[in-house]
Structure 1
Amino acid sequence: MRAAYASAFDADNPLAALTVGDRPEPTHPQDDWVTVRVRASSLNHHDLWSLRGVGLTADQLPMILGCDAVGTDPDGNEVVIYPVVPTPGDPRGVSILSEHYQGTFAELVAVPRMNLLPLPDGLSATDAACLPTAWLTAWRMLTTKGRVADGESVLVQGAGGGVATAAVALGVALGKRVYATSRDAAKRERITELGATALEPGARLPERVDVVIETVGAATFDHSLKSAAPMARIVVSGATAGHEPAVNLRRVFAMQLEILGTSMGTPDELAELLAFCAEHEVRPVVDRVVPFSGIAEAFARLHSGEVFGKVVIDHIA
C-alpha cells in the first residue's frame, strides 16, 4: 500500500528523511484491533519532529507518520480515529499513532476498535481529520484545563499553528473575548477575520485575561504572566520557542495564578468536540487540502512556517 514514512532521521533537514512509497498492509498487535481504510488525514508538527528523530529510535524505522485520520471501518461505518493507544513498555503507558504503532499517512491503518468514533452528520472527512490532535488539544486547554466560563476572556499566544489557531476559533465559537498574538501581519489579519483581536507579540492587552493558551514557551511566557488576571489559568501544551522560561514566582503566588500542563485529550473530550463542531457549525481553519500524491509538498508547506491552520491530505482525490 502507498504510505508516507520516516526512513531516516535528519535534525537539520527533516524533509530529507521523508519517503513516499509502498509499505506492507498493517497487522493487528491484538485481537481487539481493526483495520481502517483512510479517507483523509492531517499533518501536525509532531510529524516533523519524528523526521528529526524526536520520540523515535533507529530500530523503529521505517515508521509510517500521521496521527489524525477519518476513514471507513470494516463494517462500512465512517469513523474518526482517536490517536492515543495503550502502549506496554512506554513510560506514559500510552503513545500516539506513529510513535510505537504505524501512523495514518497510508491507505490503511490498524487501531483498537475502541478508538473509533462516529463521524457526525454535517462534518466532512477532511474537516474532521483536523480535530483529533491539534483541535482536541485546544479544546481540552480551553475547557477541561482552562475551565473558561461565561464572560471570561482568553489570550492565545502565537496564533497561526494548528493548536493556537484552533484555540482562537474555538474560543470565539464559545462566545469568549479572544486576543491572539502573531509576529506575522498577514496572520494577524487572518486572526481578525476569525473574530479575535489580533496583537503583536508582547503588546499590552485591553484587559487582563482569565485563560492563557500557551504553546510558544520562553519567548512569550513573561507576557503570558503579565497578561493574566488574578486567579487566571495559564495552560501550556508546547514550547516551540524555548522550554525553560524565567518565571516570576512572586507574581504567580500574589496573583494566585495556575500554571497547568496538558497534552491531547480523552476519547470523551474528542466526542464532545465533534458534537460541538457539528452542532454549532464550527469548521477547522484549513490552510490547504492536497491529494495524497502531494504529501511531500504538504510537509514542505508545514515546514516553511507560513502555514495558517491545518494542512489536510485527501486520500481519495
Structure 2
Amino acid sequence: MRAAYASSFDDGNPLAALTVGERPAPEMPDESWTVVDVRASSLNHHDLWSLRGVGLTEQQLPMILGCDAAGVDSAGTEVVVYPVIPDPGDPRGYSLLSENHPGTLADQVAVPRANLVPKPAALSFVDAACLPTAWLTAYRMLTTRGRVSEGEAVLVQGAGGGVATAAVVLAVALGKRVYATSRDAGKRERIADLGATAVEPGARLAERVDVVIETVGAATFEHSLKCAAPGARIVVSGATAGYEAKVNLRRLFAMQLDILGSSMGTPQELAGLLALCEEQGIRPVVDSVHGFTEAAGAFERLDSGDVFGKVVLDHTR
C-alpha cells in the first residue's frame, strides 16, 4: 500500500527523512482492532517532529506518519479515526498513532474499534480528516478545560496555526467575542475574516477576557496574564516560542487565575466536536489539499511556515 513514512531522522532538514512509497498492509495486534480504508488524512507539526527524531527511535523505523484520518471501516461505515491509543508504558498513559503504532498517512490504518467515531454525512472526508488532532485539541481547550460557557470573551494567541485557528472558528461559532494575535499582517486579515478581532502580539485589548488559548508559550505568556479577567482560565497546549515562561505570581493569586494544561481530547469530545460542526455548519480552515502522490509537496507546504489552516491529503487522488 502507499504510505508516507519516516525512513530516517534529520533534525536540520526533516523533509530529507521522508519517504513516500510502498509499505506492507497493516497488522492488527488483536481482535479488538480493525482496519480503516483511508479516504483523507491531514498533516500536523507532530509529523515534522517525528522526521527530526523526536519521540521515535531508530529501532522503530520505518514509521508511517500521521495522526489524523477519515475513511471507511470494514463494515462499510464512514468513520473518523480517534488517534489516541492507551499505552501504560508511556508516561502520559497513551501514545498517538505514528508513535508506537503506524500512522494514518497510508491507504490503510489499523486502530482499535473503540477509536472509530461515525462521520456525519454533512462533513466531507477532507473536512473530517482535519478534526482529530488540532481541532479536537482546540475544542477541549475551550470547553472542558476553559469552561468557555461561563465567559463571553476569548483571546487566542498566535492564530494561523492549526490549533489556534480552530480555536478562533469554534469560539466564534459558540457566540463569544474573540480576540486573536498574529505577527503576520496577512494572517491578521484572514483571522478577521473568520470573525475575530485581530491584533498584533502584545496589543492592548478592549476588555479583559475569560479564556486565553495559549499555544505560543514564553513569547506571549506575559500578555496572556495581563489580558486575563478575574477568575479567567489560561489554557496551554503548546510552547512553540519557548517553554520556560515567567509567571507573575502576584497577578496569578490576586486575579485568582487558573493556568491549565491541555492535550488532545476524548472520543466523546471528538463526537461532540463532529456534532457541533454538523449542527452549526462549521467547516475546518483548509490551507491546501494535495493528492497522495503529492505527499512530499504537502510536507514542504507544512514546513514552509506559511500555512493558514490544515494541510490535507486526498487519498482518492
Could you tell me the TM-score, scaled by structure 1's length? 0.99
* CA distance in 1: counterparts of 2:15 and 2:301, whole angstroms: 11
- Contact 2:142–2:171, Cα closer than 8 Å, also in 1: yes
The residue correspondences of 1:194-273 to structure 2 (distance < 5 A) are 194-273=194-273
Shift of 1:149: 2.0
Shift of 1:251: 0.6
Residue identity matched to 1:98: S
Q: Percent of aligned positions with the same letter in both sequences?
A: 75
Shift of 1:93: 2.2
The residue correspondences of 1:89-238 to structure 2 (distance < 5 A) are 89-149=89-149, 152-238=152-238
Matched, 1:2 2:2: yes
What residue number does 1:31 align with?
31
What residue number does 1:11 align with?
11
Shift of 1:88: 4.0
* CA distance in 2: counterparts of 1:178 and 1:273, whole angstroms: 19
Residue identity matched to 1:180: A
What residue number does 1:47 align with?
47
What residue number does 1:61 align with?
61
The residue correspondences of 1:268-287 to structure 2 (distance < 5 A) are 268-287=268-287
* CA distance in 2: counterparts of 1:164 and 1:314, whole angstroms: 23
- Contact 1:214–1:235, Cα closer than 8 Å, also in 2: yes
Residue identity matched to 1:202: G
* CA distance in 1: counterparts of 2:254 and 2:53, whole angstroms: 41
RMSD value, Cα: 0.8
Q: Secondary structure at the match of 1:85?
A: strand
> Relative to structure 2, which stretch is displaced further, 88-97 or 160-169?
88-97
Shift of 1:287: 0.4
What residue number does 1:290 align with?
290
Shift of 1:42: 0.4
Work out the number of aligned pairs and report it.
317
* CA distance in 2: counterparts of 1:93 and 1:243, whole angstroms: 22
For residues 49-89 of structure 1, the C-alpha deviation after alignment (integer angstroms, 9 at most, x for no partner) is 11111111111111000000001100111110000012242
Residue identity matched to 1:146: G
What residue number does 1:310 align with?
310
Q: Secondary structure at the match of 2:148?
A: coil
**Where does the alignment leave 5 or more consecutive residues of structure 1 unmatched?**
none
Residue identity matched to 1:25: A
- Contact 1:150–1:176, Cα closer than 8 Å, also in 2: no
Residue identity matched to 2:62: P
Q: Secondary structure at the match of 1:149?
A: helix
Q: Secondary structure at the match of 1:27?
A: coil
- Contact 2:162–2:308, Cα closer than 8 Å, also in 1: yes
Shift of 1:30: 1.6
For residues 5-38 of structure 1, the C-alpha deviation after alignment (integer angstroms, 9 at most, x for no partner) is 0011111111111111111111011211001100
Shift of 1:92: 2.1
- Contact 2:151–2:211, Cα closer than 8 Å, also in 1: no
Residue identity matched to 1:26: P
Residues 151 and 247 (structure 1), Cα distance of their counterparts in 2 relative to 1, 3 Å cut: closer
- Contact 1:68–1:83, Cα closer than 8 Å, also in 2: yes
- Contact 2:151–2:210, Cα closer than 8 Å, also in 1: no
